[in-house]
């Protein structure tokens, strides 16, 4: 009797393989919800900055940049995961070579649009808060 353990071959089936399509959110309300929630967040940060004096401006700046950069990092991480799931070589180029990232997003807009929406809204929140804070601080120190 042979008592050696038998090794089973592990195969990756199509149902277990991570594909770009599986990384998409299939909810039709995704885009409007993300845009509206980001707009509400930016509006609240704007109200904090304009009504809170210097301390409010600094709070708006810290909170807004933190929120915006978190969204930007989340969007780019999501996009990188999609690119790596699609093809390892193209995924590494996507992550490591920014001009290719832009090209790939344009060419495969159908799979990257959700992650890029989160990325761009994060940039808008970050730069918007920096701009609002700089204008507010300029006007406070000018008087």
- pLDDT tens digits along 51-99: 888 898 999 999 999 999 999 999 999 999 999 988 889 889 998 988 9
In a domain, 114, yes or no: yes
In a domain, 53, yes or no: yes
In a domain, 24, yes or no: no
The whole-number pLDDT of residue 126 equals 96
In a domain, 13, yes or no: no
In a domain, 130, yes or no: yes
- pLDDT tens digits along 39-49: 999 999 999 98
The arithmetic mean of pLDDT across residues 12-40, rounded, is 84
The arithmetic mean of pLDDT across residues 119-143, rounded, is 89
Angle, helices 53-86 vs 109-142, to 10°: value is 160
Q: Is 132 exposed, middle or buried (0-12, 13-18, 19+ CB in 10 A)?
A: buried
In a domain, 129, yes or no: yes
Query: What's this model's pTM, rounded to 2 decimal places?
Result: 0.81
In a domain, 44, yes or no: yes
- pLDDT tens digits along 118-130: 999 999 999 999 9
Boundaries of domain holding 69: 30-142
Gap between the Cα atoms of 59 and 100, Å rounded: 36
In a domain, 14, yes or no: no
Domain count along the chain: 1
């Amino acid at each position: 009797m042979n008592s050696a353990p038998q090794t089973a071959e592990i195969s990756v089936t199509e149902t277990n393989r991570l594909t770009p399509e599986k990384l998409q959110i299939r909810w039709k309300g995704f885009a409007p919800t993300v845009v509206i929630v980001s707009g509400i967040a930016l509006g609240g940060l704007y109200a904090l900055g304009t009504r809170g004096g210097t301390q409010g401006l600094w709070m708006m700046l810290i909170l807004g940049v933190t929120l915006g950069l978190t969204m930007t990092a989340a969007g780019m991480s999501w996009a990188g995961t999609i690119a790596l799931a699609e093809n390892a070589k193209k995924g590494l180029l996507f992550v490591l070579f920014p001009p290719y990232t832009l090209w790939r997003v344009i060419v495969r807009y159908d799979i990257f649009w959700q992650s890029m929406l989160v990325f761009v809204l994060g940039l808008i929140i970050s730069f918007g808060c920096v701009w609002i804070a700089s204008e507010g601080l300029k006007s406070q120190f000018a008087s």
